Structure 1
Amino acid sequence: MKARSAIVRVLGAATAAGALAWFAMAGGPAPTGGTAVGAVAGETPAYAVEDFDYPQADKILTEQNIVLKRGDGHIVLADCASGTGLLEVWARSKDKICFKVTGNTGWLTMEIPAVYGVKGSADQSAQVDMTVGTEEKSFDVAKDSYTAVGESADEQGRDHMLVEIRTAK
């Protein structure tokens, strides 16, 4: 019985402390017998603001020489050996680069030079935007199929830089 009453006292004290903390943070009156306590300016947590910058982009650039800029998190760099159904980007500068695609839609901006082909992921079609000099070109990529893009689709065989991928189910 002593253990039970000790537990009840501890729970009662914790409940009272929680109520006091709630009143203090809410700016309401303190419970009877106390003084009003307000939140100190600058102690409230900051708001989380998504900037859509690609996580660890500097590390990926240093280790793999791939420039990933911004995205919504539904297209992420993947190890090509990690599975099937990945979106594959073929470039003379880097051979094959793979991306895992999730969600109903996705987008990712990047800079990958000398891209000549893209294979769509198993579940989603894609549109890739590329630049050659000051010219911009877009290519549609079907689900789970290879599409000639960039220099392999250009009559002059010019190098194209992949700058954005957008996907949709």
Structure 2
Amino acid sequence: MSLAEEDEWELVNDDGFVYKRKKRPRLDISATTSAPPPDPALEEKNRRNRKKRALLNLKAKYEAEISRWELLSNTLRDLNLQTQNVEKGFEKVDVGEMGNELPVEFSGFSRCGLIDELLAQVEAQEALINNVANLCEAAEALCSLQEERSKQFLLNLPVWDSSPRELMNALCDE
């Protein structure tokens, strides 16, 4: 081992645990004093610009999410109105109480009229079920998008940019 290599390492005693580590580079005080001090007004202007850009970006994200939630809310409100209209427009008929034989006339309807009425009611319920299914798909898509954003946020951390060896060295240095 040469003398130059020996100077790059230092012995550290950490409560009885002795190990070698690379020496940290020392800051040269003369080098830092020779640089002119940064302009405080320029630093403040740059800080405000960065802050403004970050807030505008955050505002755009929130506005997009709010518009999606408003769309879902309006769709749900329309669905509730449709349900109320269907319930008001159709009489509730319980066929099970009448048995297999229907009289020729049932509360003003003929057999065909009653069948048509029940068929229309079933079709309206099918349309409502389709609307609810579409609403659920939209909510699921929103949840998936939020989950992907959360995953991406964690994957974009600067910790993952370096190699594992550099990460371990940085953690050991501190």
Taking structure 1 as the reference length, what is the TM-score of the superposition?
A: 0.22
Give the structure with the larger helix fraction.
2
Normalised by the length of structure 2, the TM-score is 0.21
Q: Which has the higher strand share?
A: 1
